[in-house]
Amino acid sequence: MQFTNEELKQKINEYKKKLSVTVVAHFYQRDEVFEMGDITGDSLELAIKTRDDNSEFVVFCGVGFMGQSVKVLSPNKRVVMPKAACCAMAVMIDGIQFDSSVKALNEAGIPNENILPITYINSNADVKAKVGEMGGMVCTSSNAKKIITTALQEGKKILFVPDRCLGQNIANQMGLKSCVIGDGSSLLDADIICFNGFCSVHQLFTVEDIKFYRKKYPGILIAVHPECDPAICSAADFVGSTSQLIKYIRELPIEQKVAVGTEFNLVNRLRPKNTFVLSSTKPECPTMNETTLKDVYAVLKSIDEGEPLNEIFVDEKTQKWAKIALERMLAL
């Protein structure tokens, strides 16, 4: 039987009243799914907020690594996902590729005791665990500079995975040298050595897009996410995480035009006017947009029937070390 969106919303709300569930939704979700969220935010914000929630089930509307982070920080909660979607950046690296990256540093003359790994939160639990076991920690786009500043006090080389753009942008902000494994640069000369991963959505923005908007709207501001290419960030007026972008843009006078370089769904709901998407194409995250109202309804129905769909499980060893990596970040 086919339901309209309004009928699905009604049925979802009925299940939310009936079951011990909390629906959480990431900022990049479709509007109609985002509206169903009891808790909304970016990936780390959601993991922290759900830790204090008393519901038995967390219904996580997002991508896999986010659901894993909730499970790692709150192992007693049952975490299910309406859609078993994955983050393209997160799957660019796994435990084997992490080990290969460490080996590349070793072969360049950097022993393990001189390496401090940091993983962007946009990574799967197995990579977080590898990082935690090596004495490293997790970072987000909002706290990466603080995490790296603290890490450098140990006098070690930073191995930054998986997002090369975030690693390079932080290095540029701090006046440090960075390189990407495999780009031919000397690893010994770099302070931050980056894995060659990236966000496909944030690669859509170009310097030509910035030039176009500056020419069309003199005085316009350009605000971008640090997952964008360093050339984009260097040409922007403001660079910040999802939460930082929201705060920056909402505090602008409504008459101030701003073009934003991040995911379409977020930009689209920021302000009623004078806000533009910094791209000639629609920068919509395909995996974030896999989740539909029908999926949310189906997973709630499965919980009610006692056979939850898409439940997240993390093995004991991975859970232990991934949690240590996350908690080292939270302690700062």
pLDDT grade, residue 129 (50/70/90)?
Answer: very high
Average the pLDDT over 272-300 and give the result: 95
pLDDT grade, residue 48 (50/70/90)?
Answer: confident
Answering whether pTM is above 0.85, one says: yes
Q: What is the pLDDT of residues 184-233, one digit of tens each?
A: 989 999 999 999 999 999 999 999 999 999 999 999 999 999 999 999 99
Provide the mean pLDDT of the chain: 95
Average the pLDDT over 322-329 and give the result: 96
- 55 CB-contact burial (10 Å; exposed 0-12 / middle 13-18 / buried 19+): middle
Contacts of 96 (CB under 8 A, 6+ apart): none
In angstroms, the CA 214 to CA 231 distance is: 16
* Whether pLDDT at 1 is above 80: no
Q: What is the pLDDT of residues 84-109, one digit of tens each?
A: 999 999 999 999 999 999 999 999 99
Tokens 């980056």 -> residue: 194
Q: Is the dihedral of CA 166, 169, 175, 176 positive or negative?
A: positive
